Amino acid sequence: MISDLKGTFSHISNNIKRSAIREILKLTQNPEVISFAGGLPAPESFPVDSLDGLISTMLKEEGAAVLQYDATEGVTELRELLLKKYQDEGIECSLDNLIVTTGSQQGLDLVGKVLVNEGDTVICGLPSYLGGIGAFQAYGAKMAGVPMDEQGMSADLLEAKLIELAEQGIKPKFIYVIPDFQNPTGITMPKSRRIEILELAHKYDVLLVEDCPYREVRFEGEAQPMMYELDNDDHVLTLGTFSKIFAPGLRIGWILGPEAVNEKIVIAKQSADLCTPTFVQKIAVRYLKSGVFESNLKKTIDLYHQRRDVMLSEMEKCMPKGVSWTHPEGGMFLFITLPENMNALDLFHKAIEKKVAFVTGNVFYCNGGGNNTMRLNFSYVNNEKAIEGIRRLAKIIEKEMVTTESEIFA
Binding positions for a second copy, 249-288, rule CB under 8 A: 249-251, 258, 260-261, 264, 267-268, 270-280, 283
- Cross-strand partners of 124: 145, 176
3-state secondary structure of 140: coil
Chain positions 87 to 126 lying near a second copy, rule: CB under 8 A, are 102-103, 105-106, 109, 113-117, 120
247 makes contact with a second copy (CB under 8 A): yes
CB atoms within 10 A of CB 388: 15
Contacting a second copy within 161-180 (CB under 8 A): 173
Contacts of 372 (CB under 8 A, 6+ apart): 337, 338, 339, 340, 341, 342, 343, 344, 361
**H or E segment to which residue 114 belongs:** helix 103-115
What secondary structure does DSSP assign to 245-309, as a single string? TT-GGG--EEEE--HHHHHHHHHHHHHHHSSS-HHHHHHHHHHHHHSHHHHHHHHHHHHHHHHHH
Exactly one of 23, 30, 67, 309 binds a second copy (CB under 8 A); that residue is 67
CB of 112 to a second copy, least distance (A): 8
Residue with Cβ nearer a second copy (56 or 295): 56
Which of the stretches 18-26, 148-156, 176-184, 384-392 binds a second copy when contact is defined by CB under 8 A? 18-26
Long-range contacts of 52-61 (CB under 8 A, 24+ apart): 54/283, 54/286, 54/287, 54/290, 54/292, 55/283, 55/286, 57/286, 58/282, 58/283, 58/286
Q: Minimum distance between the CB of residue 95 and a second copy, rounded to whole angstroms?
A: 16
Instruction: State which of positions 129-158 bind a second copy (CB under 8 A).
Output: 131, 134-135, 138-139
State the first-to-last Cα distance of the chain, in angstroms, to the nearest integer.
55
Q: Compare residues 68 and 295 and give the one whose CB is closer to a second copy.
A: 68
The count of chain residues that interact with a second copy, using the rule CB under 8 A, is 84
Based on CB atoms, which residue is closest to a second copy, 359 or 393?
359
Site for a second copy in 191-220 (CB under 8 A): 205-207
How far is Cα of residue 241 from the mean position of the Cα atoms in its chain?
A: 10
CB within 8 Å of 399: residues ≥ 6 apart? 350
Q: For the window 283-322, what string marks contact with a second copy as x by the rule CB under 8 A?
A: x---------------------------------------
Whether the CB-CB separation of 263 and 274 falls below 8 Å is answered with: no
Query: Interface with a second copy includes 407 (CB under 8 A)?
Result: no
CB 66 within 8 A of CB 59: yes
CB closer to a second copy out of 215 and 244? 244
With CB under 8 A as the contact rule, the residue among 96, 159, 234, 388 that binds a second copy is 234
List the one residue from 48, 169, 349, 410 that touches a second copy (CB under 8 A).
Answer: 48
Neighbouring CB atoms inside 10 A of 400's CB total 20
* The one among 23, 30, 65, 150 contacting a second copy by CB under 8 A: 65
Smaller CB distance to a second copy: residue 278 or 360? 278
Query: Which listed range, 6-14, 80-88, 176-184, 318-326, lies at the site for a second copy (CB under 8 A)?
Result: 6-14
By CB under 8 A, residue 51 contacts a second copy: yes
- Cα(217)–Cα(329) distance, integer angstroms: 9
3-state secondary structure labels for all residues of 382-398: CHHHHHHHHHHHHHHHH
Asked if 229 is part of the footprint of a second copy (rule: CB under 8 A), the reply reads no
Span near a second copy by CB under 8 A; candidates 10-18, 87-95, 216-224, 345-353: 10-18
CA distance 125 to 33: 31
By C-beta, is 47 or 397 nearer to a second copy?
A: 47
